Amino acid sequence: MSSVTGHTALVTGAASGIGLACARALADAGAKVHLVDLDPGVRDIASEVGGVGHVLDLTSSVSALPAEVDVLVNNAGVQHVAPIHEFPAERFSAMVELMLGAAFRLTRHVLPHMYSRGWGRLVHISSVHGLRASAFKSAYVAAKHGLEGFSKVAALEGAPHGVTSNCVAPGYVRTPLVEKQIADQARVHGISEADVSGQIFLQRTAVKRLIEPSEVADAVMWLCDNSFVTGTSLAVDGGWTAQ
């Protein structure tokens, strides 16, 4: 039996990749799961997982989402690869709003319930780019570094109420987000698309493979089962940040 059994969870960006793996793991552990995504396909995916689907653009208000949530996984994210002098300003703002602003607004939305119950788990899917930088990822690195800081504040405020807050910081995971950036990575680095995997994705990781979404979900579930681990970031990065 997991500590999430019988609790209510909400996962953002749950129609794909890491979010879907987290929603599945939480449902398999006996949680009632709300799956939130921009993609209308989230409704069918939620039925298949055994949860409830919500179609929402997280850069807008989250007030329509359930607030009675015990486990919040802030996961939705996007990537844009371009040098700063060419990076569209509105794209920068939208990415920070999605990956940092929405995490703040959703946390704010569910904390009163967690505090009233004296138990809660906030898990934020950060990235190795919340701990390290890479060229051409200004919005992503800025948002993820901000998310790491926000999580620490939530950990300090939540501790007296039984609420933990942690980040999971993966390296490159086998998801559509990674597949979609192959062409842009090749362009900005001046290499062929065939060389992106070896020269960009696997270059800085000691373990030379992509991570599977289920391995990130395992880390999320481990954090949910711990009451003393808070305010930290769990790198699931094949040794990238050991360097």
Ligand X SMILES: NC(=O)c1ccc[n+]([C@@H]2O[C@H](COP(=O)([O-])OP(=O)(O)OC[C@H]3O[C@@H](n4cnc5c(N)ncnc54)[C@H](O)[C@@H]3O)[C@@H](O)[C@H]2O)c1
Ordered DSSP codes for 195-218: HHIIIIITTS-SS-SPBPHHHHHH
Closer by beta carbon to ligand X, 159 or else 182: 182
Binding pattern for the stretch 42-61 against ligand X, x by CB under 6 A and - elsewhere: ---------------xxx--
Q: Using CB under 6 A, which residues numbered 123 to 152 contact ligand X?
A: 125, 127
Closer by beta carbon to ligand X, 104 or else 115: 104
CB of 130 to ligand X, least distance (A): 8
Separation in Å, CA 179 to CA 27, 71, 79, 110, 222: 27, 29, 11, 33, 27
Alpha-carbon gap, residue 99 to 76, rounded angstroms: 7
Closer by beta carbon to ligand X, 117 or else 193: 193
Binding pattern for the stretch 59-88 against ligand X, x by CB under 6 A and - elsewhere: x---------------xxxx----------
CB distance 220 to 25 below 8 Å? yes
Three-state secondary-structure class, residue 12: strand
User: Which is catalytic among the residues 92, 136, 140, 201?
Assistant: 140
CB of 115 to ligand X, least distance (A): 26
What is the size of the binding site for ligand X (CB under 6 A)? 27
Binding pattern for the stretch 8-47 against ligand X, x by CB under 6 A and - elsewhere: -----x-xxxxx-----------------xxx--------
CB distance 122 to 167 below 8 Å? no
Ordered DSSP codes for 43-63: HHHHHHHTSEEEE--TTS--T
Whether 140 is a known active-site residue: answer yes
Closer by beta carbon to ligand X, 13 or else 53: 13
Structure token pair of residue 224? 């949910």
Exposure on the CB side of residue 68, measured as CA atoms within 13 A: 5
Binding pattern for the stretch 94-113 against ligand X, x by CB under 6 A and - elsewhere: ----xx--------------
Map tokens 């930088």 to a residue.
133
Greatest distance between any 2 Cα atoms in the chain? 54
Residues that bind ligand X (CB under 6 A): 13, 15-19, 37-39, 57-59, 75-78, 98-99, 125, 127, 170, 172-173, 175-178
